[in-house]
A and B are shown apart, each in its own frame.
Chain A
Amino acid sequence: MNRSSQGSNKWRLLVILILAVVVLMLLDLGLGSVRIPIADVAKILVGGAVNNEAWQAIVLKIRLPRTITAVLVGAALSVGGLQMQTLFRNPLAGPSVLGITAGASLGVAAVMLAAGSAITAFTIRSLGIGGSWLIVIAASIGAALVLLAILAISYRIRDNVVMLIVGIMVANITIAIVSIWQFFSNPEQMQEYILWTFGSLGGVTTSQLQVLGLIVSLGVLMTFALSKTLNALLLGEDYAQSMGLNIRKSRFAIIGVTSILAGAITGFCGPIGFVGIAVPHLTRSFLNTSDHRILIPSCVLVGAILMLVCDIISQVPGSNTVLPVNAITAMIGSPIVIWIIVKRRNLKASF
């Protein structure tokens, strides 16, 4: 296969992925407890009028924010996971590997568990949807604290493997603190907290969505700007340094961007696992490339596709139940990943 045909193959794949995202978005908006035909969904989206006014409200006010959230979550976590896997040259790395998600959990747990039952229940319930801003801020502060600790440590450490282990240990510390708080809380508080840990795509209001959308877009763009750096890091730090890359600055930038992406998602949607680790592998395997200039946009699309599929399933179309998104992503995603990497056998080639 010569170079130009390889290139056009990749373009074709990208177009297919974009189409898949659009189709899945329409499906996600159409399926749920009430089934709305796709044609009507499309009409509503472009601002046209439909027979059933309730449908308009359902699509625009309830389902659209959720669908957009799914796309943002898939994009942000996949891109974060990709960077972590490249930086640490480790296929098991994900965006939460440095403890950012654990830090966010620490912030949320501080509000829900440690602040005292009366205050928490009152604050969250009475503020209603707006109360969730409190959770978002708490999660962000927690994540930011862990991020600062990690960045400070990363400045003094040369070796990425050491960095990885430090991140895992920091995550363990925060998890330990949260378990102690859980141990001393009452059942209602624990339930609130556990519900948070299930992850939810539906709890993001439109105003929050704007903030989240902005952060994720900036994060993905900054990652794309780091493509050249990430590609150089594929050869290992020694070669990268010999080519003029400043290892410390690069590590800082990569960890910083990933943490912002992972921290924002966790703050608004709760800790969502699996996507960040699995999607980079799926993407690398399908496109059979390690070039980040292609991988980053592809991970955005594949991540969106995976989250949309999981969201559709978690809404159990036709019924009123909504299953927790974390369970669905792991349950649907894991067999897919196993199938892909066993069949394609090029996982080992990537690391």
Chain B
Amino acid sequence: MSLSKTILTSKNLTVGYKNKEVLKELDLNLRKGELTCLLGPNGSGKSTLIRSLAGIQKPLAGEVQIHDKSITEINAKEMAKTLSLVLTDRIAPGNLTVYALVSLGRFPYTSWMGALNDSDKALIQWAMEVTGSLQFADRHIGELSDGERQKVMIARALVQDTEIIVLDEPTAHLDSPNRIEIFHLLQDLTKKTGKTILISTHEIDMAIESCDNMWLVMPDKKVALGLPEELILSGSLEKAFGSEALTFDYLKGKFSKNLEGHDFIIEVIGEPVLVKWTKNAINRIQQHIKSDCQVEVLGTPKDPTWKVSGTDKKFNSLTLLISYLKTT
């Protein structure tokens, strides 16, 4: 089994602004048909890197190559047919219809009047179906919710019919369900269409779950490459996001606040789902616990009862249990 082909590479790339290097000496690669996540904390330079890779910002040093050709040698129109963008911000003109906006993606292919032929229209139709935006084709973009709008922007990028799609924090303004939908949509697209997708994000959970490959921004302004799991096991993820206040729980796969040593342990036994969420609530009040004890959860998740072992205290609501535990 061979690795998929590398489409985009960077050689010793340094990006940033006139007086400031943001990320440096990057040797990156994007493999065809994979979803790669650029993960890093806020302000770590992800947008700068994305813009430099897409050719809309000049790098400070090094070069970016697509299919072994430097992007400085690719003319604007060719580039437009190779790489399309989806950016974070809400775009301005609200009274463009969704259809009109998506069809703007055909810009590099249409004649000077921008007229659409049948194959253009078919592609627009497909892009809107695949992103679930067909239902609002005739509505004005200003009437849509943030999630719907981002799907339209993705449709626009699809219509541009490029090998590579680069997204800069597309889920930044979105709520959880929308965020999950978008990540799944992108994953789906790589599988269905073979497109190569690069997405920058600070959503650790979504990145770990959805990406075939990760680019992790490290504190020393370099970027580590690998499978999400490789970067977790090697400790890179903890180094990238952790701090004095936060540690990474390797079993749970989550960051959590450092707790002062807890001297007292509360054991919870019972049905697994009830145990998990009871422990979750108890962890929050850890500092109030003054002695060891054991809690038994009886019944089913729909009809639970909490019993504190060694006492005759029984509670049928978690609120009451917690306020009891806080006061003893």
Enumerate chain A interface residues (CB-CB to B < 8 A). 1-3, 6, 89, 225, 227-228, 231-232, 234-236, 238-239, 241-246, 284, 288-291, 293, 346, 348-351
Contacts and interface: CB of A to CB of B under 8 A. Distances in A.
A244 B114 CA distance: 14
Nearest to A86: B93
B294 interface: no
Nearest to A346: B95
Given A227-B113, A244-B108, A289 B95 contact: yes
Interface string B205-249: 000000000000000000000000000000000000000000000
Given A234-B93, A349-B95, A243 B113 contact: no
A241 B113 contact: no
B99 interface: yes
Contacts of A231: 104, 114
Given A3-B138, A225-B112, A291-B100, A243 B92 contact: no
A315 to B, nearest CB: 36
Contacts of B51: 238
B58 to A, nearest CB: 11
6 contacts: A3-B138, A228-B113, A236-B91, A246-B76, A291-B96, A351-B92
Given A228-B112, A228-B113, A239-B85, A245 B76 contact: yes
Contacts of A346: 94-95, 142
Interface of B: 51, 54-56, 76-77, 79-81, 83-85, 87, 91-97, 99-101, 104-105, 107-108, 110, 112-114, 137-138, 140, 142, 160
Nearest to A1: B138
A289 B94 CA distance: 9
Nearest to A242: B85
Chain B CB within 10 Å, residue with most, of A2, A228, A243, A284? A243
A293 B113 contact: yes
Contacts of A245: 76, 107
A350 B93 contact: yes
B114 A228 contact: yes
B140 A349 contact: yes
A235 B91 contact: yes
Nearest to B166: A242
Given A227-B114, A350-B94, A351-B92, 16 more contacts: A3-B138, A228-B112, A228-B113, A234-B96, A236-B91, A238-B56, A238-B85, A242-B79, A243-B105, A243-B108, A243-B160, A244-B107, A293-B113, A346-B94, A348-B94, A350-B93
Contacts of A293: 113-114
Contacts of A228: 107, 110, 112-114
Contacts of A6: 97, 138
A156 B309 CA distance: 77
Contacts of A236: 91-92
B56 A242 contact: yes
B105 to A, nearest CB: 7
A232 B160 CA distance: 13
A270 B138 CA distance: 43
B142 A2 contact: no
Contacts of A89: 92
B93 A349 contact: yes
Nearest to A2: B138
A31 B110 CA distance: 48
Contacts of A2: 138
Chain A CB within 10 Å, residue with most, of B56, B93, B100, B108? B93
B94 to A, nearest CB: 3
Contacts, number: 96
B260 to A, nearest CB: 47
A351 B94 CA distance: 7
Contacts of B138: 1-3, 6
B42 to A, nearest CB: 20
B95 A243 contact: no
Nearest to A288: B95
Contacts of A348: 94
Sorted nearest first, the 9 A-B pairs with minimum C-beta distance are A349-B94, A244-B80, A243-B107, A228-B114, A349-B142, A242-B85, A244-B108, A244-B77, A290-B93
A239 B166 CA distance: 12
A235 B152 CA distance: 13
B96 A3 contact: no
A244 B93 contact: no
Nearest to A285: B95
A20 B57 CA distance: 49
A291 B99 CA distance: 12
Chain B CB within 10 Å, residue with most, of A232, A242, A293, A349? A242
A346 B93 CA distance: 10
Contacts of A243: 80, 84, 104-105, 107-108, 160
A239 B91 contact: yes
A55 to B, nearest CB: 44
A6 B97 CA distance: 11
A232 B112 CA distance: 12
A236 B91 CA distance: 7
B93 A232 contact: no
Nearest to B75: A244
A246 B56 CA distance: 11
A290 B103 CA distance: 14
A236 B92 CA distance: 8
Contacts of B113: 227-228, 293
A96 to B, nearest CB: 23
Nearest to B137: A3
A292 to B, nearest CB: 9
A36 B110 CA distance: 51
Nearest to A244: B80
A156 to B, nearest CB: 15
Nearest to A232: B107
A333 B203 CA distance: 51
Contact of A239 (B87, B95, B99): B87
B153 to A, nearest CB: 9
